[in-house]
Amino acid sequence: MRFCQPHWDELRQAIHKVGLDAWVPDSGEKAMAAMASQIEQGTTTIDNFDPLMGAHNAIAINMGEACRNNGDATLALFMIAEPICPLCLGNYMVSIPQSATNHQILADLEGKHLAGPFDEWIETAAQGQLDRWKNLAQ
Ligand SMILES: [Zn+2]
């Protein structure tokens, strides 16, 4: 899943607020290298730590889990919502009409930003990355 620009900017700002700016790779290549290293080593270390992608992945995984817990139909929507921002999807789901089809939902959301209660996850995810960094830095 891919964050919309407003939610991505809010996530960057939240990482900045917890003081982890210096750990965010300064290029897409370095971010890819950090991710490759995490996969290769099977874990995150202080050398491949990327709080921005870490927070992004935590939100995407938690949204997948929330959709799964909500039932098969919601999980199916999550699975096909590849181009949709997970936070926009969550914010939309809290006010979704029962009759809406997955096709309608995706058409409503694609390329749009929707603020709502799930925006709180941004600060929680940034705080989670700070806790992670504290563990890694010991
Ligand atoms: Zn969004």
Position 70: which residue type? N
pLDDT at 78: 84
Residues around ion ligand 1, judged by CB within 5 A, are 4, 7, 85, 87-88
Tens place of pLDDT per residue across the chain (138 aa): 789 999 999 999 999 999 999 999 999 999 999 999 999 999 999 999 999 999 999 999 999 998 888 888 788 888 888 788 999 999 988 877 667 788 888 888 888 899 999 999 999 999 999 999 999 988
pTM over the 0.85 mark: yes
Distance (angstroms) between ligand 1 centre and the Cα of 81 equals: 12
How far, in Å, from the CA of 19 to the mean position of ligand 1?
23
